[in-house]
Structure 1
Amino acid sequence: MNGADVLCDVLLANDVNICFANPGTSEMHFVAALDRRPEMRCVLGLFEGVVTGAADGYARMTNRPALTLLHTGPGLANGLANLHNARRARVPMINVVGDHASYHLPLDAPLTADIECLAAPMSNWVRRIEGPDDVARATQAAIHASLSPPGIATLILPADAAWGEARPPASAVIDRPAPPATKGEAIRSAAEAIRKARGRAALLVRGTAALADSLKIAGQISAALNVRLFSEVQVAHMQRGVGRVAPTRIPYPIDAALEVLADIDVLVLVGAPEPVAFFAYPGKPGRLVHKGCQVLTLAAHGEDLKRALEELRDELGIKGSQAVPQAKTVPDEGRPSGALTEDAVAVIVAQKLPDNAIVCDEGITSARRFFSLSEQSAPHDFMMNTGGAIGIGIPLSIGAAIACPDRKVLNLQADGSGMYTVQGLWTQARENLDIITIVFANRTYAVLHGEMRNVGVQTIGENARRMLDLDNPLLDWVSMAKGLGVEAARAHTCEEFTGLLDHALSRHGPFLIEAVI
C-alpha cells in the first residue's frame, strides 16, 4: 500500500465517503487510490469554489464531514471564499490539499505556495503530512479535528507522502467523543436572568438548536415565560414550516435590527455568538443589543444544545407538556398574476414548496420576503449564505442534493452571486441532481445600490452604475444553463413562472428558471 491508499482507507473507515474534487498533478496518486475504492463517491467541480461550497451543503445536511480534494496553494485559494462561508456555518469538513513532493519544494517550482498560510484563516486546524508513515495518524487527527467541535480541518498531502510505501494503522477508526454537556452554572445563571428580566429576555439559537426538536423546547420556554426567540441574520440551517416553532430572524438592515432588539434586557445565546451589525456605518453602533443588555452563553458551539435547552426548561420549572407559541398569521397573498416581481416569486415558491424540500437561499435582496412567507409552507429545511462571501447558492444546493437524494432542493439565486459559481450547473447535470435553480434576474447588484444609500450616497453616477449593474450585455441564464447541460426556461409573468415551477416540481433532475423581474 502507498500513503494515498492508507489515506482513503482511514477516511472510509470513519464514514467519510464523499469526495468533492478538483485535482491536479500532485494528487494523481490519491486519484488512483480513490479509483480503487468505488465505495468513495467522487464528485467533480469545475471550479474550487463549487467544490468547497458543495462540501458545505453536504455537511450542513448530514452533520458529517465532507471531503474536498484541492490542487496546491492556488487550488485552495480558489476555494477560500466558500471555505469562509463553511467556517462561519461551523460545519465539519476535511480539505486534502496536494502539494509538491517534499524534496521538490526548495526548487520553488511555479505552483509552489505557502499552503499553511493560505489555509490558516479559513481553517480551524491545519497539518502537513510528514511522510508515508504519518498519513494514518494525520488523517485520523484531521477527522477528529473536523468533529470536535465541528469545523474546517485542512490536511496537506505532499506527493511523496502519497506515493511512498505505507503501513495501514492497527485500527483506522477513531473514537468520537459525544458533545460535552453544558455546565450547571450556565444553566442556573441563564434561568435566573430570564426570571429577573420579566418578559424582556430572549433566546438566540443556531446550529442544532435551530432544528425542529430543539426549537420545540425553546418554544416551550418562550410560551411559558414570554421569552422572545430569535435566529441570526444569516441562517446556517433551520427546520421550518407549518407545525414547527419559528424564531424571528434578526433583520439585516441595522436600524431594523436595533429596533427589534431594543427591548431585550437579557439575551441568552444557544450555540450562537452575540449578534453584531454586518458592516460599520457612520454614527451607528456595531453591537445590536443595547448597552445595558446582559448577554449570557447557555451553550457554545460543539456542546449538546438540545440537552442544554432541556435542562434550562427544567430549571425554569416548565413541564415537557407545555404548549409552544401559536404560529403567526401569514396574510393570504392570493395567487399573484401579471408581470413577475421578486415578491411574486417569493409568494409562489412559498405556496408551492413541496413537503420535506430543502431551500438554499442566496436570493440576497430579491428573496427577502421568502423567509417570513414560508413559515406556513410545508415542512422544509432552510439554509443561507453564512459568511457573506457570495457564490454559495449553486454549490450549496449540490451538496444538499447529494446528502439527501430523495428530497427536492430549491435554490433561490441572485443573478450576480450566481455568476461566481455558475460552473456548478454542470455538476448538477453530470450527477443528475434533483435541484430547481430559480434565478432572480434583476440585472444588478441590488444589495450594493442599497448599501450606497446606507452610507449617504443618494445619486449614483455613470462610473458607480457601471460597477453595480449587470447590463450591456445582459446575462442570458437560459443559454448558460443549457450550455452546461441543465434544462432551462425564462419567465416574465407570474403565469409563466407558475407553469415552469409546476413542471420542474413534477420531474426529477436539474432545472433552471430565469425569473425576469
Structure 2
Amino acid sequence: MNGAQAVIRTLVGGGVDVCFANPGTSEMHFVAALDDVRSMRAVLTLFEGVATGAADGYARMAGRPAATLLHLGPGLGNGIANLHNARRARSPLVNVVGDHALTHKRLDAPLESDVDALAGAVSGWVRRSLTTGEVGADVADAIAAAARGQVATLVLPADVSWGDGASVAAVPARRPAPHPAPEVVDDVARVLGSSTVLFLGGGAVGEAGLRAAAQVAAGTGSRLLAETFPARMARGAGVPDVLKLPYPPDAAREQLAGVQHLVLVGAVEPVAFFGYPGTDGRLVPSGCTVHVLATPAEDAVAALQQLAELAAPGATPAVADARRPGLPTGALELRTLAEVVGALLPEHAIVVDEALTSGRFLPGATVGAPPHDWLTLTGGAIGQGLPAATGAAVACPDRPVVSLQADGSAMYTVQALWTQAREGLDVTTVVCDNGAYAILAAELENVGATSGGERAGQLLDLGGPSLDFVALATGMGVPATRATTAEELATQFRTALAEPGPHLIDAVLPR
C-alpha cells in the first residue's frame, strides 16, 4: 500500500469521509488513491478558500471533521482566511497540505515555501510526515487532534505519498470534554442575580445549553447574552431567545453596563474587534468580576445543567413563541428583506449569515420562525458565507440551507457557487446587494478618519462597473434571479426553496 492510500483509508476509518479539495502536482497520488477508496467523498472546489470554508461549515453541522486537500504553501495561503474562521469557531478540521518531495526541497523550486510556518498561524496541531511507514499513524494523530476542536494540519510530501510500505492506523477513541469541578459550579451559583450576566458561546448556544441557561435565568434573575459571532446557534419557536452581544463597541458596553459579575460559559471574555482612538478595547465594565463556569474546551452544556439543578431547580425556561412577520410589500430594504426571510424560512433550515450591515433586522424577524440553526462569521475574515453554506449542505443533505450574503464578501469566494451546482446542493443564496462595502463606511468614521473624501469613497464603492450576480451565478450553473421589490423577493425566495438544487437571488437594496 502506498502512502496516499494509507492516508485516505486512515481518514475514512477515523470517521473523516469527506474531503474538500483543490489539488496540484504534489497531491496526484492522493487523487489517484480516491479510486481505490470509494468511501471517501471528494468535493472539488475552484479556490482553496472555498475548500477550507466548506470544511468549516461541514464540521459545524456534522460535529466531526472534514478533510481538506491543498497544494503547497501558496494553496495553503489561499485558504488561510477561512482556516482562521474555523480556528475561531473551534471547528474540528483535518487540513492536508501537499508539499514537494523531500529530495526536491533542497533545490528551492519556484513553489517552495515554509508550509509549516504558514500552517502554524491557524492550526492548533501541525506535523510533517517524514516517512511512508509512519504516515498512517500521523493521520490518526491528526484526526485525534482535530477532534479536540482545532485545525490539525498534516504536511504530506509527495514522496511520502508515492512511497510503498504504508499501513492504516487506528484512531484513538475520542475523549469526552471535561466537566467543570463541583466547586466551580458552587462559586458561580453564589453570584447569580440581577447584576450577573451569563455570557454564552460554543456548545452553550445549542438548544440544550440555551434551555439550561434560560432555566438559570428564570430561577435567579440573571441575564443571558451570547457571543457576537457564535459558530452555531439554535434559534426559533420553542427555543430560548438569547440576544447576541452587539458588534459596535459602544452598543456592547451599553449592554454590559452595570454588570457586576460576568460568567463565561463556553466563551472567552468579550473585547472590541478593533482598537479605536482614545478608547479601551476591553468591554467588561470597571469593577465587574469575571468568572469562568466552563472554558471553550470544557462541556458547557453539562456545566449549565449542573448550575440549573443547583441554583434554579424547577424553574421554567422562557422560550420564543411561534410567530412570523407578514409578507411585506413595496420597496426592498433591510427591514422588508428580513421580513421576507422570517415569513418564509422553512423548518429545520440552516442559516449561514454573512449579511453583515444588511442583516440588522434578521434576528427580530426570525426569532419565532420554525426551529433552525444559525451559523455566523466567527473570525471576522469575510468570504466565509458561501463556502460554509456549501459545507453545511454536504453535511446535512436533508435540510434546506439559506445563505444570507453581503455583496462585497460574496466576491471573495464566489467560486463556491460552482461547487454547489456540481454537487446539486440545496442552498438558496440571497445576495444583499447594496453596491458597497457599507461596513467600512461606518468604520471610516469610527476610527476618526474624518478627512475621507471622494477618493476614499471609491475604495468603499462596488460600482463602476456594478456586479452582475445573476450573470455570475448562471455562468457557474446556478439558476439566478434579481429582486427589486419585496413582492419579487418573496416570490423568488419561495420558488427557490421549493425547487431542489442551488439558487441565487440578487436582492437589490438601497445604497
**The two structures share one fold, judged by TM-score above 0.5:** yes
Look up the match of 1:248: 243
1:429 corresponds to 2:421: yes
Q: Is the 8 A contact 1:50 1:395 kept in 2?
A: yes
Look up the match of 1:166: 165
Counterpart amino acid of 2:369? Answer: S
Counterpart-to-counterpart distance in 1, 2:190 and 2:381: 39
Deviation, structure 1 residue 456: 3.0
Look up the match of 2:176: 178
**Which SS does the other structure have where 1:289 is aligned?**
coil
Q: Is the 8 A contact 1:202 1:267 kept in 2?
A: yes
1:299 corresponds to 2:297: no
Counterpart-to-counterpart distance in 1, 2:310 and 2:316: 17
Deviation, structure 1 residue 329: 10
1:279 corresponds to 2:278: no
Q: 1:372 to 1:461 in 2, by over 3 A?
A: same
Look up the match of 1:496: 488
Counterpart amino acid of 2:377? Answer: N
1:51 corresponds to 2:51: yes
Counterpart amino acid of 2:160? Answer: A
Instruction: Give a deviation string over 1:13-34, Cα, whole Å, max 9, x none.
Output: 1110000000000001111112
Look up the match of 2:389: 397
**Which SS does the other structure have where 2:327 is aligned?**
coil
The partner residue of 1:409 within 401, 404, 410 is 401
Instruction: Give a deviation string over 1:420-455, Cα, whole Å, max 9, x none.
Output: 000110000000100000001100000001111212
TM-score (norm 2): 0.97
1:217 corresponds to 2:212: yes
Look up the match of 2:89: 89
Instruction: Give a deviation string over 1:333-353, Cα, whole Å, max 9, x none.
Output: 543211211221111101110
Counterpart amino acid of 1:140? Answer: A
Look up the match of 1:188: 186
Look up the match of 1:480: 472
**Which SS does the other structure have where 1:153 is aligned?**
strand
**Which SS does the other structure have where 1:377 is aligned?**
coil
Deviation, structure 1 residue 167: 3.5
Deviation, structure 1 residue 2: 0.6
Counterpart-to-counterpart distance in 2, 1:482 and 1:314: 54
Deviation, structure 1 residue 459: 6.2
Look up the match of 1:356: 348
Counterpart-to-counterpart distance in 2, 1:31 and 1:302: 35
1:130 corresponds to 2:122: no
Counterpart-to-counterpart distance in 2, 1:445 and 1:398: 23
Deviation, structure 1 residue 504: 0.6
Q: 1:280 to 1:329 in 2, by over 3 A?
A: farther
Counterpart-to-counterpart distance in 2, 1:239 and 1:423: 28
Look up the match of 2:31: 31
Counterpart-to-counterpart distance in 2, 1:305 and 1:374: 25
**Which SS does the other structure have where 1:420 is aligned?**
coil
1:236 corresponds to 2:236: no
Q: Is the 8 A contact 2:238 2:321 kept in 1?
A: no
Deviation, structure 1 residue 506: 1.1
Q: How many residues align?
A: 509
**Which SS does the other structure have where 2:199 is aligned?**
strand
Counterpart-to-counterpart distance in 2, 1:192 and 1:465: 53
Counterpart-to-counterpart distance in 2, 1:333 and 1:33: 52
Counterpart amino acid of 1:350? Answer: G
Look up the match of 1:386: 378
Q: Is the 8 A contact 1:99 1:156 kept in 2?
A: yes
Counterpart-to-counterpart distance in 2, 1:483 and 1:134: 45
Deviation, structure 1 residue 460: 4.1
**Which SS does the other structure have where 1:471 is aligned?**
coil
**Which SS does the other structure have where 1:336 is aligned?**
coil
**Which SS does the other structure have where 1:157 is aligned?**
strand
Deviation, structure 1 residue 465: 1.1
Instruction: Give a deviation string over 1:233-280, Cα, whole Å, max 9, x none.
Output: 112110100110111110111111100000211111111000111111
Look up the match of 2:77: 77
**Which SS does the other structure have where 1:249 is aligned?**
coil
Q: Is the 8 A contact 2:238 2:322 kept in 1?
A: no
Q: Is the 8 A contact 1:6 1:166 kept in 2?
A: no
Q: Tell me which moved more, 302-311 or 224-233.
A: 302-311
Instruction: Give a deviation string over 1:156-208, Cα, whole Å, max 9, x none.
Output: 00011111112424x523221111121223212211222xxx31101111111
1:456 corresponds to 2:448: yes
Please list, as runs of the form range in 1=range in 2, the aligned pairs for 1:107-126 lying within 5 A after superposition: 107-126=107-126
Counterpart-to-counterpart distance in 1, 2:451 and 2:342: 35
Long gaps (5+) in structure 2 = none
1:203 corresponds to 2:198: yes
Q: Is the 8 A contact 2:355 2:404 kept in 1?
A: yes
Q: Tell me which moved more, 183-192 or 62-71.
A: 183-192
Q: Is the 8 A contact 1:357 1:407 kept in 2?
A: yes
- Percent identity, aligned pairs only, is 50
Counterpart amino acid of 1:429? Answer: A
Q: Tell me which moved more, 184-193 or 446-455.
A: 184-193
Counterpart-to-counterpart distance in 2, 1:225 and 1:440: 41
Counterpart amino acid of 1:248? Answer: L
Q: Is the 8 A contact 2:96 2:155 kept in 1?
A: yes
Deviation, structure 1 residue 373: 2.1
Counterpart-to-counterpart distance in 2, 1:106 and 1:158: 13
**Which SS does the other structure have where 1:291 is aligned?**
coil
Look up the match of 1:156: 155
Long gaps (5+) in structure 1 = none
Q: 1:293 to 1:33 in 2, by over 3 A?
A: same
Deviation, structure 1 residue 375: 1.1
Counterpart-to-counterpart distance in 1, 2:320 and 2:234: 14
Q: Is the 8 A contact 1:52 1:68 kept in 2?
A: yes
Q: Is the 8 A contact 2:237 2:319 kept in 1?
A: no
Look up the match of 2:318: 325
Q: Is the 8 A contact 2:133 2:165 kept in 1?
A: yes
Look up the match of 2:252: 257
TM-score (norm 1): 0.96
Q: Is the 8 A contact 1:343 1:366 kept in 2?
A: no
Counterpart-to-counterpart distance in 2, 1:500 and 1:140: 46
**Which SS does the other structure have where 2:367 is aligned?**
helix
Counterpart-to-counterpart distance in 1, 2:64 and 2:206: 16
Q: Is the 8 A contact 2:236 2:320 kept in 1?
A: no
